[in-house]
């Protein structure tokens, strides 16, 4: 079952939960909040590990999946890793089960998020200007490879890098921090910086990796191409059109998808279409034929074959399950 919350309902529930959660006054840099009892059980913790850098740790279980219609708002730079459970946005972006997230600073578009019942993960947020502190350059500015993460009054960049073993290990170390007091804060600060470096590695690769090598800004353009695909799953541009929109050749676009996402542009598009089709089928209010057509298949048999190849079950079994 899926519960839909309005932004006002979500704000009210969590505000009440914070009021009812006891705080430890001996930990001035930390706050603790139990999950609203109407939604589930568990907790979230927030720790200021560095001035203006807030680390959040969540370990909870909702009674149902939660659909949260987001609002258009100014968003800080944020990094997220899930060790269990997942969040899916309405354009097909996913956090958890193989993917992390980087939400750039800027204006977040209005879009819905579906949050699964189980949750164990971490996230940290900060003003994007701090990138100049953590990745210093000679001029004191944000490194050129990372400036796209500071959009100011423009639409933010949303990225979903793949999870690596190193990223999972650091996230687990943050959750299981063995220290207390100032030692704990220093340890978590170091781990946050390590995790940031790991998640940003593909964008710093232009500078650090000799082979294969992209020109400056190409990695950003590949991610922009992916964002276009995610926003146009029903009517995607052709490979050539997509390459022209982001300013790279079709060969570079294909090579970039293979390097960053381990698949072709078409493979990535098909994969995201199937994930969305699976979500529609589980909602149970659409027929298999409807979902096939909405996914871009005029022939439901072709859709069924592709769906079973991806998930190991037929669309009808998914709908009934």
Assess contact for 252 and 214: CB atoms under 8 A. yes
Mean pLDDT of 260-285: 85
pLDDT of residue 26: 67
Task: Give the span between the Cα atoms of 23 and 35, in whole angstroms.
Answer: 14
Q: How would you classify the pairing of strands 112-115 and 158-159?
A: unpaired
Pair of tokens at residue 53: 């850098």
State the average pLDDT for the chain: 86
Assess contact for 254 and 265: CB atoms under 8 A. yes
Task: Give the span between the Cα atoms of 22 and 47, in whole angstroms.
Answer: 15
pLDDT of residue 321: 66
Pair of tokens at residue 299: 């022939």
Strand, coil or helix: what is 232? Answer: coil
Mean pLDDT of 271-289: 86
263: left (phi over 0), alpha (psi -120 to 50) or beta: beta
For the ranges 14-28, 120-134, 169-183, the lowest mean pLDDT is seen at: 14-28
Q: What is the DSSP letter of 151?
A: E
pTM, rounded to two decimals: 0.71
Task: Give the span between the Cα atoms of 72 and 172, in whole angstroms.
Answer: 32
Report which of residues 227 and 123 the model is more confident about: 123
pLDDT of residue 214: 65
pLDDT of residue 127: 95
For the ranges 11-15, 107-111, 240-244, 284-288, the lowest mean pLDDT is seen at: 107-111
Report which of residues 86 and 216 the model is more confident about: 86
Task: Give the span between the Cα atoms of 33 and 46, in whole angstroms.
Answer: 9
pLDDT of residue 16: 92
296: left (phi over 0), alpha (psi -120 to 50) or beta: left
For the packed helices 265-283 and 218-231, what is the interaxial angle rounded to 10 degrees? 40
Residue 104: other Cβ atoms inside 10 A: 21
Q: What are the C-alpha distances in Å from 112 to residues 6, 66, 253, 264?
A: 10, 10, 28, 27
Indicate the length of the chain as a whole number: 321
Residue owning tokens 């659409």: 286
Pair of tokens at residue 179: 């220290």
Task: Give the span between the Cα atoms of 121 and 7, in whole angstroms.
Answer: 22
| Per-residue pLDDT tens digits for 1-45 | 788 888 888 889 989 998 888 777 667 788 999 999 999 999 999
């Amino acid at each position: 079952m899926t519960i839909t919350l309005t932004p006002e309902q979500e704000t009210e529930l969590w505000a009440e939960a914070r009021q009812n959660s006891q705080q430890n006054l001996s930990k001035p840099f930390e706050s603790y909040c139990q999950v609203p009892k109407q939604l589930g059980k568990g907790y979230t913790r927030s720790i200021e590990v560095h001035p203006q850098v807030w680390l959040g740790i969540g370990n909870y279980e909702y009674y149902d999946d939660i659909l949260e219609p987001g609002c258009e708002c100014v968003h800080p730079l944020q990094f997220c890793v899930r060790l269990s459970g997942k969040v899916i946005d309405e354009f097909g972006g996913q956090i958890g089960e193989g993917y992390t997230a980087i939400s750039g600073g800027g204006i977040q578009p209005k879009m819905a998020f579906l949050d699964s019942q189980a949750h164990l993960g971490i996230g940290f947020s900060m003003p994007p200007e701090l990138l100049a502190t953590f990745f210093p350059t000679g001029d004191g500015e944000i490194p050129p490879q990372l400036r796209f993460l500071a959009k100011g009054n423009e639409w933010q960049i949303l990225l979903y890098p793949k999870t690596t073993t190193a990223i999972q290990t650091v996230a687990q170390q943050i959750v299981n921090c063995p220290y207390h007091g100032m030692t704990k804060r220093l340890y978590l600060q170091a781990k946050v910086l390590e995790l940031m470096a790991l998640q940003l590695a593909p964008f710093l690769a232009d500078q650090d990796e000799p082979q294969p090598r992209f020109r400056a800004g190409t990695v950003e353009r590949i991610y922009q191409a992916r964002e276009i695909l995610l926003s146009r799953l029903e009517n995607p541009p052709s490979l050539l059109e997509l390459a022209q929109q982001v300013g790279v050749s079709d060969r570079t676009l294909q090579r970039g998808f293979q390097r960053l996402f381990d698949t072709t542009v078409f493979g990535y598009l098909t994969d995201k279409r199937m994930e969305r089709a699976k979500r529609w089928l589980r909602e149970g209010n659409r027929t298999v034929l409807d979902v096939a057509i909405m996914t871009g298949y005029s022939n439901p048999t072709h859709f069924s074959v592709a769906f079973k190849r991806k998930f190991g079950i037929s669309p009808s079994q998914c709908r009934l399950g």
